[in-house]
Amino acid sequence: MVSAVVTGAGLSSRMISDLERNNLPIQNKLTLPLYKDKDISKTILEFTLDNVFNSNIDECILVLGHYKDEIIESLNQDYLDKVKIVENNPKDVSLSMSLYNGLKNINHEYVLCVSADQPTITSSTYKNIINSFFNSNNPKKSITFLRRREIGHLESPLGLGMPFTVSKDLIMPYLKDGDSNLNPILRKIFDDRIQFYAVKEQFDFELVNINHYTDLEFVIKNINFQNYEL
């Protein structure tokens, strides 16, 4: 049984600066449309959630903070029925604390940790991350990531972040004592000789991050929607 924690509590400051610069309506990037046809419209967050839902997870926690009300209003009822929303209080906390707040609310020992602005990662890749995790010698002492550099057993934690699969019992003590971006915490875990394993993406496009408006334009122009379960 695997839970998912999706973090979407940030300020979206880079995207909002781009929207202001281009005289576009100001909104949190998670609420921006990624996919449209005559019958369906999906935001960045909804697209991310679809991929998570289709990865054989058993529950999904969505962590919100800044722009909480705007983000909730952007989700149709089907999504609201499938997620449990956890709010950061106070709102102005680090990514590690957002993840910690989400993990406190899961019902299972193992968890897939995802950033809400990762819509390009397919459910197939999430499944591979989860399956590789459970095929490790000792899942309780392992973390399996989507690769950023090398593939397989890693000799360095540099550059790593979400998505990854991990035991709640392993990562919670590190998150509780830290309030930062994830990489410094991952370095501490790695130094304690926890096995880090990186899974290759299904498609090169999955490594594209959406931080700026130009990133979103690039994704909309180049994404192959046939690779996703809509």
**100 φ/ψ angles, rounded to the nearest 5 degrees:** -60, -45
Task: Indicate the residue type of 222.
Answer: N
pTM of whole model > 0.75?
Answer: yes
Residue 184 to residue 182: CA distance in whole angstroms: 6
Best CA proximity match to 123, nearest among 196, 19, 228: 228
Question: Tens of pLDDT along 181-223?
Answer: 898 999 999 999 999 999 999 998 998 989 999 999 999 999 9
pLDDT in tens, 33-61: 998 887 788 999 999 999 999 999 999 99
